[in-house]
Amino acid sequence: MPSAAHAQVVALLRSLPRPVASAENVQAIRTALDAIPTRAPRGVASHQTRAPDRPAEWLVHEDSDPDVRLLYLHGGGFVAGSLHTHRALAGRIARAGRAAVLLVDYRLAPEHRYPAALEDALAALRHVRDHGPLGPGRARRLFVAGDSAGGGLALATAVALRDAGERWLDGVVTLSAWTDLSASGASIRAAAARDPMLDPELLPVAARLYLGGVSPSTPLASPLFADLVDLPPLLMQVGEHEILHDDTIRLMAKARRAGVDVETDIALDMFHVYQLFSMPESREAIGRIGAWLRRRAA
């Protein structure tokens, strides 16, 4: 049964206005996301940097191993999200996984369309491989993670690395990943009334702003359509009651058929990127991410 805090968060989300995604309303969406709490959690230090030429921020817990590193790619439909919106979530993952987490401010649409975000993610991941929070030095273990659009971007980054013959990534973590920009998942309509976080009407508009004239089935934009053979291990979290539920379930099934080691964590009664909020279900989910990262880093 969902917690009392879960009910409060759902009520709050349902009370908020939902701006319609359009080129004119992008700033309104960015402003709405900026209202999310952003303080780094207790015991997590943060300092700003560049990765390599994009604004970024290291989040390091006092127990973090500086040579176990994770690049975090924020959500926001490729049109919003920032260091500000995801600092708290990335910091909680750093604490749970005892890893050094780099949160990067990749370029956003519509000012910068596909493949700008992917180019920034790839450059940042290579940078994190070779530069830690203490300075230059090769990572001992390296992961990439992200939520929503950032989750799809994390998967696309792993696919692009594999296509380039670079096999040094140790794992990918996704939270409510947006893997299909063509919006063909049945849950987009089936769960619309149950997901207080994400409006189905936002998806095609955000996809168009990001893609320009590129097909939404382009594999490095929509990793559901990619060849998933030889990807590193995946941990995929998704809410039972979110509209992008099928984006995770279908990619998980395809990855397993391709022989990828996939662990899927389906949270009962949860909505899109519920891990952003302070409630018991979020703490439990981040604890499971941390345990997975620590196992993979051992």
- So where are the chain's domains? 4-297
Catalytic option among 6, 242, 245, 282: 242
CATH architecture of structural domain 4-297: 3-Layer(aba) Sandwich (3.40)
| 127 noted as active-site residue | no
% of the chain beyond a pLDDT of 90: 90
pLDDT for 141: 98
CA 48 to chain centre: 20
Catalytic option among 46, 64, 82, 148: 148
Lowest mean pLDDT, pick from 19-28, 92-101, 167-176, 284-293: 19-28
**Of 106 and 35, more confident:** 106
| 112 noted as active-site residue | no
Longest pairwise C-alpha distance within the chain: 48
List beta partners, residue 50: 55
| 242 noted as active-site residue | yes
pLDDT-derived band at 263, boundaries 50, 70, 90: very high
* Average pLDDT score over residue span 63-75: 98
Judge whether 90 and 59 are in contact, CB under 8 Å: yes
